[in-house]
Amino acid sequence: MTQPVSETVSPSLSPSSSPSSSPSSSRPSAEFIAALPKVELHVHLIGSASVPTVLELARRHPGSRVPGTEAELRAFYTFRDFPHFAEVYQAVNDVVREPEDIATLVTGLARDLAAQNCRYVELQVTPYAHHTRGLPMRAVTEALDVAARESAAEHGVRMAYIFDIPGEYGGEAAAVTVRHALDEPPEALVGFGLAGIEQHRPAYREEFRDAFRAARAAGLRSLPHAGEMTGPETIWEAIEGLGAERVGHGISCLDDPRLVAHLRETWLPLEVCPTSNVCTGQVRDIAAHPLPRMLKEGLNVTLNSDDPPMFNTTLTREYEIAAEVFGLDRAALAELARNAVRASSLDRPAQDALVAEIDTVLRAAE
């Protein structure tokens, strides 16, 4: 979840009037995109809650701010502007009251991603949000462990976790997050992140650096958000101050040629979320999104959904947008899928197996 730095505008997600630059024979079909094995690297636990999942939670906890019928909830979810998005996000967060609710969110996401042929997800969890509700670390961890096992067994989706600090809550949130990550980590914890409002970070820079230093020493990957709401300086801090191995968003990198050169040389992955960037007001409209420029610069880009139901998107839809709006052909979409696999925390044999599946789907479509 993010906060725009300028007035939010309604997203324009219709395809551009320009036809695809790729030959018609290589234009991706809906069938090709559906068949493409996918990896999701940037999606938030609360923001991933689909209508069926939230209805289950609302019925479990009557009297919440979440509407109790499907029609009302779908209307409530319809994106209007950022303040309304924040209201929806908080209302969903308020019905996550027990460890069982956390598990329901995780398995609900696994169900939704399985329908999109997504095989693996690195889910961003904010332990501080559960800490403030009085949920014990051990109970949260047990819920995440159970949900990861159920996601694999019932939906065929391998679940991994990233614990992220909500940056606007500063040093206390950093301390709680790293303590949970080190003292009571779920089995599938692979990374340590930093999200929230980027403009607040300078006041807590040292606390964040200390937390990331401890997490990295424990073997967790550094996977912070940066360069979404602020300029390249935030990305530089993520790289130099937090030891980032992958950057969430990173779209402002294009404002700094030296940073672009560094990202190209190091092949540091960027988790790009086009629809999210439009909805939160960071990009004027989808046709103006910098993803094509990032690819032209030779950067390591992955496609992701961020808070999909709340932004009326899916991981599959992000691939469709890349084809319809940005004119990417089948080979380019397959390369984005490979980038996500290689940027993931999967072990090398699992990566190789998924890449081989992607290549098989691409060959079958040629």
Whether 228 is catalytic: yes
Whole-number Å distance between alpha carbons of 54 and 50: 6
Catalytic residue among 122, 198, 228, 320: 228
CA torsion angle for 85, 86, 91, 92 (degrees, to 10)?
70
If you search the block for the tokens 């992220």, which residue do you land on?
164
pLDDT of residue 65: 86
- Three-state DSSP class for 194? strand
Give the containing element (helix H, strand E) for 21. none
pLDDT of residue 14: 36
Residue 12's φ and ψ, nearest 5 degrees, are -115, 105
pLDDT of residue 26: 79
pLDDT of residue 10: 33
Residue 320's φ and ψ, nearest 5 degrees, are -65, -40
Whole-number Å distance between alpha carbons of 29 and 179: 47
Regions in the chain scoring below 50 on pLDDT: 1-21
170-183 helix and 137-155 helix, angle to the nearest 10 degrees: 60
If you search the block for the tokens 């004027």, which residue do you land on?
284
For 17, which DSSP code? Answer: S
* Domains of the chain by start residue, with CATH: 24-48+100-365 (3.20.20.140)
Helix (H) and strand (E) counts in the chain: 16, 9
End-to-end alpha carbon distance in the chain: 39
Name the pTM for this structure.
Answer: 0.92
**Residues recorded for the chain:** 366
Whole-number Å distance between alpha carbons of 301 and 322: 12
pLDDT of residue 1: 42
Give the containing element (helix H, strand E) for 189. strand 189-195
DSSP string, 225-293: EESSSS-HHHHHHHHHTT--SSEEE-GGGGG-HHHHHHHHHHT--EEE-HHHHHHTTSSSSGGG-SHHH
pLDDT of residue 84: 86
* Residue 324: Cβ within 10 Å count: 18
Whole-number Å distance between alpha carbons of 325 and 292: 10
Tell me, what amino acid is at 194? L
